[in-house]
């Protein structure tokens, strides 16, 4: 099925998967089966809070915690 040397972990990268399908590197059916086989890891996800374009809101004590 594979016609190129793309590393397996990059075949389904969401940034290039449509191109890989168009080029015939993988089929839409194979991609759909791969998506369906992925496990749901939502319960293990970690929430990250961030502010874009603003200075971080922390004090020097926060930095000491990271060094431990």
Domain boundaries, the chain: 8-58
CA 7 to chain centre: 15
Average pLDDT over residues 3-13: 77
For position 10, what pLDDT does the model report? 86
To the nearest whole percent, how much of the chain has pLDDT over 90?
Answer: 35
Is pTM beyond 0.75 here? no
The yes-or-no verdict on residue 7 having pLDDT over 90 is no
Spatial CA neighbour of 34 closest among 42, 26, 23, 44: 26
For position 68, what pLDDT does the model report? 47
Buried b / exposed e across 1-12, counting CB within 10 Å, b at 16+? eeeeeeeeeebb
Structure tokens at 37: 């086989």
């Amino acid at each position: 099925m594979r016609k190129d040397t793309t590393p397996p972990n990059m075949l389904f990268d969401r940034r290039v998967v449509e191109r890989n399908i168009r080029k015939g590197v993988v089929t839409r059916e194979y991609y759909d089966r791969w998506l369906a086989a992925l496990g749901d890891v939502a319960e293990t996800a970690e929430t990250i809070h961030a502010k874009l374009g603003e200075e971080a809101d922390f004090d020097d004590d926060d930095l000491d915690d990271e060094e431990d």
